[in-house]
Amino acid sequence: MSRTTAQPIRFAQRMSSIQASPTLAALNRATDLINRGIDVVDLGPGEPDFATPVAVCEAGKKAIDQGYTKYTNVLGSNALRQAIAARYNRRYKTKLEMGNIIAGTGGKQELFNLMLAFVSDGDEVVIPSPYWVSFPDQVSFAGGRPVFSLTERADHFRPTLESIAAVTTSRTRGVILNSPCNPTGAVMTESELEKIVEFCHNRGLFLVFDETYEFFVYEGRHVSAIQWFEEFPETISVVSSMSKTFAMTGWRLGYAVAHPSVISALGKIQSHSTSNPSSIAQAAAIDALGGDDSQVRTMFEAYSERRAWLLPAINRIPGIRCDPPDGAFYLFPDVRGLYGSGEVRDSSSLATYLLDRANVAVVPGLAFGDDNAIRLSYATSLDRLKEGIRRIEKAAAELG
Ligand code: PLP
């Protein structure tokens, strides 16, 4: 072969088991239009529109000024791990210690590391569907097979033991739950979660519980699997994040709470990939976790107000139907009533239609395993939401 002939790039086999995050792909398309000067109402992103609280930013700046800019312990600094444990202990009367905590570069990293630590080739992992986009790919990347248990729209998409047990086999290695759920907003009830915890324990399955949206619950209350941790420490691993609660998506800081042996397994993986999360983000997180949550409540109130406006507004659009989601900051309406007219036949073509014709960005439900829905984020100002709904209404009417 001559020096000028291009060599094919050969990727490892595992690359064919995953795809780029479809929510990021939708985001990129909208950004592309925005960069071309088009006024897009962006209801795509899963990211608070609020700034990180000022005091938290100040703590980050202070860390830089004081030279807190070096490697820390791979698992996170002692001070941060103690702050995370203390916050759980305050809220849930748990008896967590630093040894139960690892901090990483976003909750995503700890979820990824948990799959690498727990899942062997051919293992099955049960994920209630609709699901957050990264869960199945993380399982596949670890060599496992995602198996979906169905949830019902009529039941607010809440996972049930019955639906999980129905797909559990001898190859099942664990279950991933996400409450409040992205994209459906489903919030698990205490009684159902307890049944699933016991089921996992009795079968020797792991239970990974992702509570990234724990502070955004509008109906009912948030129940954390951590409340059964003392009883079942070998079964339960909880993941959460600074991203949504404290509007700190860009700081990249999340954490896992688990048995000390699980924490050291996650630490082993992390020590060969990213090592510790940013020392500056860690310092900022300590400030946020020790605060009085007043800013979190302000954000929650804004989301509540938007949700209250948005629900009746979207339900007035013929062809769209949306029950009130219990938590998170998304609507996941049934849009089948719009299918079959013009170029719109599924959630992807509807999202493309809305972006091209109405300049409104939404995420197709297919990305979350449900082609009958689209996801709209209300982590954007009420004014922009009103404009977005006005545009969707007009574009929907033009379809008919
Ligand atoms: N879990 C869920 C359900 C999410 O929606 C997200 C982010 O969108 C994450 C985990 C990860 O968040 P981060 O990596 O920013 O902490």
Over the stretch 37-54, which tens digit does the pLDDT of each residue have? 999 999 988 889 999 999
Instruction: Report how far ligand 1's centroid is from the alpha carbon of 212 (Å).
Output: 6
- Backbone torsions φ then ψ of 321, nearest 5 degrees: -135, 130
Q: What is the pTM of this model?
A: 0.96
Q: What number does the ligand 1 atom closest to the CA of 249 have?
A: 15
Burial class (CB in 10 A: 0-12, 13-18, 19+), 195: middle
Mean pLDDT of 382-386: 96
Question: Which of 47, 105, 129, 134 is the pocket-test mutation for ligand 1 (most atoms within 8 Å of CB)?
Answer: 134
Q: Is 107 in the pocket of ligand 1 (CB under 6 A)?
A: yes
Q: Would you say residue 310 has pLDDT above 80?
A: yes
Contact 34, 42 (CB under 8 A): yes
Instruction: Report how far ligand 1's centroid is from the alpha carbon of 7 (Å).
Output: 37
> Given this model, what pLDDT does residue 54 score?
95
Q: What number does the ligand 1 atom closest to the CA of 181 have?
A: 3
> Given this model, what pLDDT does residue 2 score?
72
Instruction: Report how far ligand 1's centroid is from the alpha carbon of 243 (Å).
Output: 7
> Given this model, what pLDDT does residue 333 score?
98
Q: Would you say residue 23 has pLDDT above 70?
A: no
Q: Is 178 in the pocket of ligand 1 (CB under 6 A)?
A: yes
Q: What number does the ligand 1 atom closest to the CA of 105 have?
A: 14
> Given this model, what pLDDT does residue 14 score?
87
Q: Would you say residue 22 has pLDDT above 70?
A: no
Asked which of 19-23, 139-143, 363-367 is least confident by mean pLDDT, the reply is 19-23
Q: Is 277 in the pocket of ligand 1 (CB under 6 A)?
A: no
Three-state SS annotation for 104-161: ECCHHHHHHHHHHHHCCCCCEEEEEECCCCHHHHHHHHCCCEEEEEECCHHHCCCCCH
Instruction: Report how far ligand 1's centroid is from the alpha carbon of 394 (Å).
Output: 33
> Given this model, what pLDDT does residue 30 score?
86
Q: What's at 387, amino acid-wise?
A: E
Q: Is 211 in the pocket of ligand 1 (CB under 6 A)?
A: no
| Cα 270 from Cα 153, distance rounded (Å) | 38
Instruction: Report how far ligand 1's centroid is from the alpha carbon of 226 (Å).
Output: 18
- Helices within 12-69 (DSSP H only): 22-35, 54-65
Please write the tens of the pLDDT for every residue from 109-160. Answer: 999 999 999 999 999 999 999 999 999 999 999 999 999 999 999 999 999 9
Question: Which of 109, 182, 184, 278 is the pocket-test mutation for ligand 1 (most atoms within 8 Å of CB)?
Answer: 182
Q: Is 21 in the pocket of ligand 1 (CB under 6 A)?
A: no
